[in-house]
Amino acid sequence: MSNHFQPRSLKRSRYVPLNLEDYDISPTNGFLPSGQPVRRLSDPYYEPWEQIMDRFNQYLLAHHIRRQVRKMPVLDTSKLTSQAEYQRAFMILSFMAHAFVWGRNGAASEPAAEFLPASISIPWVATAEYLQLNPVVCCAAVCHWNWQILDPGAKDPMDIDNLGTLYTFSGSMDESWFYLVTTAMEAKSARGLNAILDAIIGVEDNNIARVTHALNEIAHSLRDCNRLLERMYERCDPYVFYWKIREFLAGWENMAEAGLPYGVLYEGVDDTDTFSLDNWQSLIRRFRKYAGGSAAQTPLLQAFDIALGIKHYPTGEKGLQSSVDDARRRLQQRGVPEPPTANSYLVRMRDYMPGGHRRFLEDLASICRIREYVLLVCSDAFLQVGNEQDPRVVMRQSYNACVDLMKSFRDKHIMIVTRYILAQAKNGPSISAPTVTPVSSHIIPRAAHEQAMAQKPTAFQPGGRLGGDSLPADPTMYPQTNAHAAKQTISVSAGQSSSHQPSSPAQSTAKNARLARKVDDESVVRGTGGTDAIQFLKQVRNETAHTRI
């Protein structure tokens, strides 16, 4: 069989072009909405939410956010009138929820909240189900649906210097800029998304010139992304990001070290009103664990990975990029989906994307054969050593330029994580944080605990509703004769466990139990998504580099 690409062998009848708008993707703004996000929900019914958001930063600064949220009524989401209103509802509920959980506001004795009141959890879960993503802060909430155009008459309305945020946790310029860098990337990459679909048509038509032009357009978008990422340093200070902003973006998965060993309970959801303290294990199973906001949640980078055939593998494992034989085999299987990327974290992050965007990635993987096409067209050995005027060589160079730009972007991302997270965590704050007094750091007799519960209301009363922010001490911590119970294990990181007694939620409020803290040289610094951030990013970067042809 000839090494040359044989267009006659393709099963072209199974190809159906993708339409971006079918997936709630804007041809002009990419994964952002085509129009500006809604600034206020139209029905006065939702004024309790809007009134809190009117003074959100003031409430958070004054330690009033939990008090205000507890006073909110449980509102029904049926009065939301459009996709844009559901997006706004999800966004503002996300800000309120994470402010409630993490909003200690410098109060040393105030732990992270281990439950969300029904006034947030019920409508938040409902809007999340409508938008088909997880109820937790995500890239869509803080970047895709949290922007405004400052001057609609500007030459480029979506230029980063013409954008503002609607909300931040800290009220700082640094946090706004952190979000806007991603928002501007999404808008600038609409050109690249259109080019991906054009390249797929070029492959179908065996049109080398069209594929090459599309690859050059993808490269243009990737250069824009690189330039925007470099601008992060302009207006987002690493100290402010790590010590004042980052914790609010964290989720409740792998966050035992930050005060949430079990996750968070969503009151009024998953039958949280029917448990009893006599059945602790049943209660534990009702906690929800979600990763926090992460760059891995933007569908943009995963779309470029799929388009360029960049494969990622489980962290710590090595894999191989496709060969010429693999490419030939896959090009014969039109309409057969590409197996999802083997890195389970990246696959899971799609659950934090709106449903349409997630489906786009899945459908794109089933039809995109750009790398396979370049491999087969450029498989002759003589094309590797020269002949720069050959259209096939030019196409390969255009493809490799895209891969190089993806690697460059990931190099820059690693540098930012190193400067904004690792360096801050290793060096510690410039101003010492107050000592956190543990709520309970010793084993107490059950009788004494029950007496304390009778005298002072706790978060949970047997057979009752949620009433506070933290759980009572874990019943498994009381002296017991069950030797097996004393040897329980709990997860401490992704894929790892530690054979020690599980600490109670109350005990998790011990000194330095928060995400933003100084760590020693041997400690793992986790991203807000709960991963070992630097190890994950370095492997993703190296896998990208190995994709060159």
pLDDT tens-digit profile, the chain (549 residues) = 334 444 444 444 456 789 999 999 999 999 999 999 999 999 999 999 999 999 999 999 999 999 999 999 999 999 999 999 999 999 999 999 999 999 875 555 678 999 999 999 999 999 999 999 999 999 999 999 999 999 999 999 999 999 999 999 999 999 999 999 999 999 999 999 999 999 999 999 999 999 999 999 999 999 999 999 999 999 999 999 999 999 999 999 989 988 999 999 999 998 766 666 567 777 788 999 999 999 999 999 999 999 999 999 988 777 766 666 676 666 666 555 666 567 788 999 999 999 999 999 999 999 999 999 999 998 876 666 667 789 999 999 999 999 999 999 999 999 999 999 999 998 888 765 554 433 332 322 333 334 433 443 334 433 344 445 655 444 333 333 333 332 222 222 333 333 333 334 333 344 446 677 777 665 666 666 556 788 899 999 999 999 999
7-20+188-232+295-430+540-545 adopts what CATH topology?
A: Methane Monooxygenase Hydroxylase; Chain G, domain 1 (1.20.58)
Q: From CA 370, how far away is CA 348, in angstroms rounded?
A: 25
Distances (CA, A) of 114 to 434, 471, 547: 22, 7, 43
Closest Cα partner for 186 from 14, 331, 302?
302
Model-level pTM? 0.83
**How confident is the model over 110-126, as pLDDT tens digits?**
789 999 999 999 999 99
Question: Residue 460 to residues 99, 203, 327: CA-CA distances in angstroms?
Answer: 21, 61, 58
Tokens 């107490």 belong to residue: 444
Burial of 235 (0-12, 13-18, 19+ CB in 10 A): middle
**What six digits make up the tokens of 369?**
């054969």
Half-sphere exposure of 246 (CA within 13 A, CB side): 27
Report pLDDT digits (tens) over 76-87.
Answer: 999 999 999 999
Can you give the pLDDT at residue 61?
92
**Per-residue model confidence (pLDDT) at position 517:** 74
- Annotate 287-330 with DSSP letters as a single string: -B------GGG-HHHHHHHHHHT-----TT-------HHHHHHH
The answer on whether 413 is annotated among ligand-binding residues is: yes
Give CA angle at 535 (533, 536), nearest 5°: 65
Residues in the chain: 549
- CA atoms within a 13 Å half-sphere pointing along the CA-CB vector of 16: 8
